[in-house]
Structure 1
Amino acid sequence: LRIAEVPMLPHMDRPADRKAGCKHRCTDAAMNYLKAEVMEMCHSEGLYQIDLLNGSKERITEREYWAQKKGQAALDKANAPMIADGITPRQTKFETDKAKLRRTIREALAAASGFDEFAALLLRHGVTVKESRGRLSYLTPDRTKPITARKLGDDFDRAAVLSVLEQNAARAAEKPAAIAEYPGSIKDRLRTKKEAKNAPNNDAVQRMVDIAAKRAEGKGRGYEKWATMHNLKQMSATLMLYQQYGFSSPDELDAAISAANAATQESLAGLKGLEAAIREKKELQRNLLGYIGTKPARDGLKAQKSEKARRAYREQHESDFLIADAAARYFREHGITKLPASKALQREIEQLTVQKNAGYNDYREKRQRAQELQTVRRNIDQILRGAPSQQKKHEQER
C-alpha cells in the first residue's frame, strides 16, 4: 500500500495511484519508472549497473566480472618479471571463456552472410550453434552444456544475429557478382526440375450450413437469408459432383472416402520417408565436406616425426581435428567404410528434392480429393435429413 499521498507522476494514469492507502499497480510504465530510478541510484553511488531499460549487448554477471578481475590481476603478476627484463609478453589482456566465445561469434558474424555459413564458421573454431524454440545456444568443445544467448548478451540472440546476417547479405548483393564457373547454380537446376504446384481450387464444393442450429445461436434474418442461398448452391454442386463420380448409393461414397483417406496416408508416409532421406544425405554431406576440408591438417600430422611434434601440431590445428574427429565418429556410427564422392552425393540430394516436390503435389491432390468427398458426404447427410423442406417451411411461416 502507498504510505503517503504523492503528486501525480507521468507513469500514473488513475487518481488512486497517488492516494495514501491505495495499492501500487505494477504496470509496464510503473516498472520502467522504477527501473530508471534504480539505475539512477546505482550510478549516483558509483555502483556497476547494466541498462535495465534497453537490455545489455554483453550481459556480464557478477561471477564473470570478478573472474575477469582476478584473472587480469594474475596475468599482470605473471607478466611483471618479463616486462622488467624488457620482454614483451604474448598476452596482456585476460579473457574469460564467455569473452572468448563472444569474440569468436563476432568474428563469424562479420564474415558470414547466411545462418548456415555462420554455423560453419563457428564449427571451424569448435563451437556448435543450436536453435531451439526460437532461441540460440552455443556449445564450446570444453563444455557439455551449451551457453544460451541470453547469458552472453542481446547481441547474440536470434533476432540480432539474423539482423546482422541480413545486413551482410544485402551488402554482398550490392557488390558486382563474380562470373560463375558453371552456367547455372544448384538452385537454378532444382528450379528447372521442380514441378509446378497445383493452385488451390476455390470453386470446390463447400459444407452446407445448419440453419436451425445457427438460428438457435442467435443469428439474424440477414444471415438466414444468406445461408439459404448458400445451401441451395452447395446442394446443386454436391448433387452434380455426386453424379460426376458415378456413385449410386451412400455406401459407394463411404468406400470412396475410405480409399481416398488410405491413399492420402500412403502418400504422406512416402513424403515423410523422402524428407528423412534428404535430412540423412545432408547430414552425411556436411560431415563429408568437413572431413575433406581437414585433409591438409591430417596430412600435416602424418608428416610430424616425433610424438612431441605431433602433440604441438594437434594443438595448433585443434579446430580442424575436432571437425575431423566428429566426422569420423559419424562415419563409424553409421557404418560408412567408403566415403561417397561429393558430386555424386549432391546429385542424389537434388534427385530426392525433385521427388519430394512431386510427392508433395501428389499428397496435396489426394488430400484435397479426400476433403472434397468428406464434404459431399456431410452435405448428402444434411439433404437426406430434410434440411431443404424445413427451410421452405420456415420461409412460409415467416
Structure 2
Amino acid sequence: MLLATFKHISSKNADYGAAEAYLTFEHDEFTMKPTLDENGRLIPREDYRISSLNCGGEDFAVACMRANLRYEKNQKREDVKSHHYIISFDPRDGTDNGLTVDRAQELGEQFCKEHFPGHQALVCTHPDGHNHSGNIHVHIVLNSLRIYEVPLLPYMDRPADTREGCKHRCTNAAMEYFKSEVMEMCHREGLYQIDLLNGSKERITEREYWAAKKGQLALDKENAAREAAGQPTKPTKFETDKAKLRRTIRQALSQATSFDEFSSLLLREGVTVKESRGRLSYLTPDRTKPITARKLGDDFDKAAVLALLTQNAHRAAEKPKAIPEYPHTQKGRLQEEKTAKTAPADNTLQRMVDREAKRAEGKGVGYDRWAAKHNLKQMAATVTAYQQYGFSSPEELDEACSAAYAAMQESLTELKQVEKTLNRKKELQRQVLAYSKTRPVRDGLKQQKNAKAKAAYRQKHESDFIIADATARYFRENGISKLPGYKALQAEIESLIKEKNSGYNDYRAKREEYRRLQTVKGNIDQILRRSEPQRRKEQSHER
C-alpha cells in the first residue's frame, strides 16, 4: 500500500482469540492460516507492539466473552462479533518523516481511545506489510459491543450509538469521518497521505487484490513446470477480469475522439458500454451482468470518459501536418537531444561544504578529498539550477529567495487560518452535540409542575444541566443565536479539511522551492567568495 490508507473489516467469528493470534503469530498471506514450524508449533511474529483497552486486566478474548454474556449480545451466528480497522502508513514515512513502530502504536492507541470509546479493543502495530512493502501499519480490533455509555461523537447518528450494551455500527458516514480524521492525523504528524475522501482512479477491492496475488502465484508455478518440461511459457503477469477490462477501456480511450467511436472500439473487443441514469457500465462477453464504472474506478465513470474524449478531440484538431521521416540514426539522435532537454531538474542538489572550516575543525585528509569531489558535483548542479531559473545576477537570485520566502509565509498564514477556522467549527460541533444530548433532560424540566419539583429534578440531573449551561454560555460568548444543523456543520468541516489538505500541499511545495533556492544561493555565495581572492590575485600580477 502506498500513502496512508484506512480500511474496515467486520467479522462474525465468535473466537476472539483468533484475532489476537493473527496479530501476534505468522500467517500465510493467501490462506490466512497460521504458519507452523517443523514441530507443528505457531511461529511468533518477529516484531510488533500490542496493547489492550477497556479489558480490566483480563485477556481480550475472555473480557469480550464476559461482556457478551453480561449484556446477552453476540450470541447468534449471524451477529457481527468484532470490527477490524487498519491504518497503513506510507513506506517512506519511516525514512523521510521519522515514523517508528512505537510512535505508530501511540497514534493507534490515541485514535482508538478518541473514536471508539467504550469498546474493548486490541491495538497492534506491525513494522511491515504482508507483501513486504515496508509500510508500518496499525490494527485496531474492537468487540462490537459497547460496555459503557459514551458521549455522542460526530459520526454517530442514533441515540443507541452512545448507550451501554449497544453495538458499534460502521456506516458510510462513519467511514468518511474516520478517513478525514486519519488525514488530519497524518497532516498533524507531518506524514505522507492522500485525499481519502475522494475516490481512486482504479478501485481495487480486497477480493480482487487477493485474486490477483493467488492468480500470479499459480501462473508462476505453471510457468516453472512448463520451463522444466521444455514447453513454452505463458505471459508472466496475471491479470484479473477487471484488470483486463480496465486495460481494454484505456486502450479505447487513447484512440477515440467521441463517445460513439469509444463504444465502437470497445464493441470490437466484445465489450458493450451502457449508460443508465447518467452512469456507465461495461458488459464483457463472459458475463450476464455488467460491471459498473464505480467498481472499476473514477477513471471509468461518465464524467472522466467524456472529459478525456473531449481532450482527444481537441488534440486531434490541433495536430500539425505530418513531416518527412528522418533517417533512423538521425531521428534517434534528435530524440535523445529532446529527451535530454526535457529531462526533469536534478533533485540531488545539496549544500557545498566549507572545506576550510572543516579543516579547522580537525577533519582529516580523507574527508577533505570527499568534500572536494562533493563540491565539484554540487557546483555543477548549482550552475545548472541557476541557469534553469534564468537568473542573470546574484541580486536576482536574492530577490527570488525573498519572493519564495514571502510566498511560503503567505501560504503558511493561510493554512494556519484554515486550521483555526476548522478547530472552531469542530469545537462548535462538539458543543452542539453536547447540547443536543441534554435536550430530553431540559424538556423534562418543563414538565415539572412546581418549583420544588423543578429543584428536585435539577438536582437529580445536575450533571446534564451543568453541561447544558456550559454549552449555552459558549453559544452566548460566541454570539450564536441559532444552532447550525448537524449535516450542514459536518459538510462545512469536511470542506475545511479538504481546503486544509490543499493548503498543506501548497505550503509544502513552496517550502521545498524556498529550500532549493536557499541551497542555490548558499552555493553561489560560496563559489563567489572563493573566486574573489583569485580575481584580486590576478589583478595584482597584471600591475
Given the two structures, how large is their TM-score scaled by the length of structure 2? 0.39
Cα contact 1:260–1:369 (8 A) shared by 2: yes
Could you tell me which residue of structure 1 aligns to residue 435 of structure 2?
291
Task: Read off the aligned partner of 2:416 and give its amino acid letter.
Answer: K
SS at match of 2:493: helix
1:173 maps to 2:141? yes
- Residue 219 in 1 paired to residue 209 in 2? no
Match of 1:233 in 2: 377
Describe the SS at the equivalent of 1:207. coil
1:371 to 1:319, Cα distance in 2 relative to 1, 3 A: same
Deviations, residues 173-230 of structure 1 (Å, cap 9, x unaligned)? 253686644376224664434799xxxx993411101111111111001100110011
Q: Which residue of 2 aligns with 1:326?
A: 470
1:125-164 residue pairs with structure 2 within 5 A? Answer: none
State whether structure 2 residue 420 is matched by structure 1 residue 276: yes
Equivalent AA in structure 2 for residue 304 of structure 1: Q
| Cα gap change, 1:183 to 1:290, in 2 (>3 Å) | closer
Name the counterpart of 1:185: 175
After TM superposition, give the deviation of residue 374 of structure 1 in Å: 1.1
Query: In structure 2, what is the Cα distance between the partners aligned to 1:372 and 1:273?
Result: 26
The answer to whether the Cα contact below 8 Å between 2:431 and 2:471 also exists between their aligned partners in 1 is yes
Q: Does structure 1 conserve the Cα–Cα contact (< 8 Å) formed by 2:120 and 2:143?
A: no
Q: Tell me the residue number matched to 2:352.
A: 208
Matched, 1:300 2:464: no
Q: 1:189 to 1:168 in 2, by over 3 A?
A: closer
Please point out which of 411, 414, 418 is paired with 1:267.
411
Deviations 1:97-118 (A, max 9, x none): xxxxxxxxxxx9679xxxxxxx
Unaligned runs of 5+ in 2: 1-52, 57-105, 124-139, 145-166, 181-194, 201-344, 535-543
Structure 1 residue aligned with 2:493: 349
**Structure 2 counterpart of 1:267, one-letter code:** S
Deviations 1:159-184 (A, max 9, x none): xx979959933188253686644376
Amino acid at match of 1:192: L
Residue type of the alignment partner of 1:263: A
Relative to structure 1, the CA distance from residue 231 to residue 206 in structure 2 (aligned partners, 3 Å threshold; closer, same or farther) is same
Is residue 121–residue 143 contact of structure 2 (8 Å, CA) maintained in 1? no
- CA, structure 1 residues 162+207, in 2 after alignment: closer, same or farther (shift >3 Å)? closer
Query: Aligned partners of 1:363 and 1:239: how far apart in 2?
Result: 26
Distance 1:179 1:293, change over 3 A: closer
Q: How many residues align?
A: 231
Cα distance in 2 for partners of 1:109, 1:376 equals 55
- SS at 1:311 equivalent: helix
Q: Which of 1 and 2 has higher RCO (CA within 8 Å, sep 6+)?
A: 1
AA partner of residue 175 (structure 2): S
Letter in 1 for 2:385: L
How far the C-alpha of 1:322 sits from its partner, in A, is 0.8
Amino acid at match of 2:120: N
Q: Residue 330 and residue 361 in structure 1: after superposition, are their counterparts in 2 closer, same or farther (change >3 A)?
A: same
Alpha-carbon distance in structure 1 between the residues aligned to 2:110 and 2:399: 51
Matched ranges for 1:1-398 at <5 A: 168-170=120-122, 173-175=141-143, 180-182=170-172, 185-187=175-177, 190=180, 191-193=195-197, 203-386=347-530
Residue by residue, what CA displacement relative to the aligned partner does 1:29-55 show, whole Å, maximum 9, x if unpaired? xxxxxxxxxxxxxxxxxxxxxxxxxxx
Q: 1: distance between equivalents of 2:436 and 2:178?
A: 26
Residue by residue over 1:322-376, the C-alpha shift from the partner in whole angstroms, topping out at 9 and shown as x without a partner, is 1110000000000000100011111111110111111111111111111111111
2:346 touches 2:381 (CA, 8 Å); kept in 1?
no
Cα pair 1:270 1:359 within 8 Å, conserved: yes
**Deviation readout 1:243-293 (Å, 9 max, x if unpaired):** 000111111111111110110110000010011001100110111000000
Post-superposition offset of 1:231: 0.2
Aligned CA distance change for structure 1 residues 182 and 213 (closer, same or farther; 3 Å):
closer
Change (3 A) 1:276 1:168: same
Q: 8 Å contact 1:194–1:354 — kept in the other structure? A: no
Distance 2:384 2:418 in 1: 38
Give the counterpart letter for 2:445 in structure 1: L
The Cα RMSD (Å) is 3.4
Partner SS for 1:192: coil
Retained in 2: the 8 A contact 1:194–1:358? no
Q: Which has the higher helix share?
A: 1
Q: Which secondary structure does the structure 2 equivalent of 1:228 belong to? A: helix
Any conservation in 1 of the 2:176–2:197 contact (CA below 8 Å)? no
Identity %: 53
1:357 alignment partner AA: N
CA distance in structure 2 between the aligned counterparts of 1:234 and 1:298, rounded to whole angstroms: 71
CA distance in 1, matches of 2:386, 2:517: 9
| CA contact 1:215–1:224 (8 Å) conserved in 2 | yes
Shift in alpha-carbon separation, 1:331–1:256, aligned structure 2, 3 A: same
Q: What is the CA–CA distance in structure 2 between the aligned matches of 1:308 and 1:362, rounded to whole Å?
A: 61
* Partner deviation per Cα, 1:68-107 (whole Å, 9 max, x = no partner): xxxxxxxxxxxxxxxxxxxxxxxxxxxxxxxxxxxxxxxx
Letter matched to residue 387 of structure 2: Q
